[in-house]
Structure 1
Amino acid sequence: MSGQTQRALVTGSTSGIGLSIARRFARMGFDVAVNSHENEPEANTALREISEGADGQVRYFRADLADPAQSFGLVEQVIAAFGGLDILVNNAGVQKVAPVESLPAADWDRILAISLDSSFHTIRAAIPGMVARGWGRIINIASAHGLRASPFKSAYVATKHGIIGLTKTVALEVAERGVTVNAICPGYVWTPLVAQQVADQAKVHGISEDAVIRDIILAPQPTRQFVQPEEIAEMAAYLCGPLARSITGTAISIDGGWTAK
């Protein structure tokens, strides 16, 4: 899309993968809507980091994505503030590690609401404007767990499989409208979410956190290295470019070879 500043919303963008994507977009000159459930003063550190070197606007939009109305309303607020929305990155997610029989129903509901349902609501709010302009990019951050399963992660694995299905379906619906829809499937990225998984897995298995990293977390990843958030951000940046117009309905793995097995 040439001749106009692109306007992007990245959900869950005050830490980890979302922060890296928002920072990369800001350096590309995009207007960037940063989102989290935190109050704005709590997000100030991330906002300063994203704003450093930014050429476009960087604005914060607070929303609890467990609430369908707030998920839909978030997109409406961004459109009102920026005059439109060209790029939507659904990144927000939460995790809980527990055997399925011990997973509280409230945790299941919250994980699905934030990690899957919110993407449906933001997409349905963003699509009309993108279709009307004949251009748009939707990127859903899934996971290697959208393609493979692991024990003790029933809700997370279910949502990530669902995200890939949602991605493919919406991509087909808008394929002739200039809008692409893709999922990025990272392996283990060292983020606050993964750090919490390490702690949870250590409790579940009764072993040290170092043993969790070596023998559980990185065991399926042949490179035995954590993926860096910047790698995900570079793929997101490419998908927003003109040479990615034929990439749609795909689940792109950045997983150190995990799903090659």
Structure 2
Amino acid sequence: MDMSNRLRGLSAMVTGGAKGIGAAIARRLAAEGVRVAIFDRNPNIAELLARECGNGASVAAVDLTDFARLRSLIAEQGPFDIVVNNAGVDQHAFFTETTEDDWRRLLSINLETVFAVTHATLPHMQASGFGRIVNIGSEAGRLGSRGGSVYSAAKGGLIAFTKSIAMENARYGITANTIVPGPIDTPLLRRAVEEGGEKLLKAMENATLARRLGTPEEVAATVAFIASREAGYITGETLGVSGGMGVAAG
């Protein structure tokens, strides 16, 4: 297959696409000829990114937990051939320090929004005979996380959900895969390092075989391949972009 055509002409939505990993994914897909819709609650930042991406990139300003508005915007800006569920939120606290409101917020943003997006976008993919669902998880969903039990549970649920969607939709030419990043050098991670100090940064690096942080662009490159036409034989998989973190932990 001509590499220049592996994504060209397709349409994609990226949730949480204004900053960090999501922004890198939007840039990479747009650079490969995809029309990208950035779904994010920060419209000003998203608009700047959309102008940078070009190729008809658009913005949907939405709180993803407002499922009625989310469905309306998907109908308005779609249909989409590719869905990248990237939006997520973490909280560092031991489980006994969390509240029921924390549980609801973490599960809603990290898992239920993926249900809503997938439910709204699958019918078009099924009708067209092509679709790529790429869910951004975390190694915490496979390995657990000290101080991140609810987040880990949500990401673990995301992995199981993705496998189930892959099973149900393979006959329609739809693939569903989870990408699980390890420690990625984003502004959010850097803020955590500022609070935790150099010792925290070293611990993150040493948790990987690569002994370094990953970059958003490395995650985006993996998304671009998994979302492409040439990746039709890869589905139901959980792909670590974590410098060997899973192996190091084992």
* TM-score > 0.5, shorter chain as reference: yes
Q: Separation in 1 of the partners of 2:186 and 2:57?
A: 22
TM-score (norm 2): 0.91
Alignment of 1:1-261 (within 5 A): 5-38=9-42, 40-51=43-54, 56-79=55-78, 84-199=79-194, 202=196, 209-215=197-203, 217-260=204-247, 261=250
Distance in 1 (CA, whole Å) between partners of 2:146 and 2:11 is 39
Q: Following the alignment from structure 1 to structure 2, what is the Cα–Cα distance between the partners of residues 2 and 144?
A: 28
Where structure 2 has 5 or more consecutive residues not aligned to the other structure, the ranges are none
Distance (Å, rounded) in 2 between the aligned partners of 1:99 and 1:25: 37
Letter in 2 for 1:234: A
Structure 2 distance, partners of 1:144, 1:4, is 30
| Separation in 2, partners of 1:196, 1:112 | 23
| One-letter code aligned to 1:49 | E
Name the CA shift for 1:27/1:122 in 2 (closer, same or farther; >3 Å): same
Once the 2 structures are TM-superposed, how far is the Cα of residue 42 of structure 1 from its aligned partner?
Answer: 4.0
Q: 1:65 is matched by which residue type in structure 2?
A: L
TM-score, structure 1 normalization: 0.88
CA RMSD of the aligned region, Å? 1.9
- Deviations, residues 196-246 of structure 1 (Å, cap 9, x unaligned): 44356x3xxxxxx1111113x223212121111111111111112232101
Residue deviations 1:119-163 (CA, integer Å, cap 9, x gap):
010001000000000001000001111211121001210111011
The CA distance in 1 between the partners of 2:38 and 2:161, in whole Å, is 23
- On the 8 A contact 1:19/1:50 being kept in 2, the answer is no
Work out the CA distance in 1 between the residues paired with 2:229 and 2:7. 13
CA contact (8 A) 2:7 2:229 kept: no
CA–CA distance in 1 between the matches of 2:108 and 2:117? 12
Instruction: Describe the shift of the 1:196–1:111 C-alpha distance in structure 2 as closer, same or farther (beyond 3 A).
Output: farther
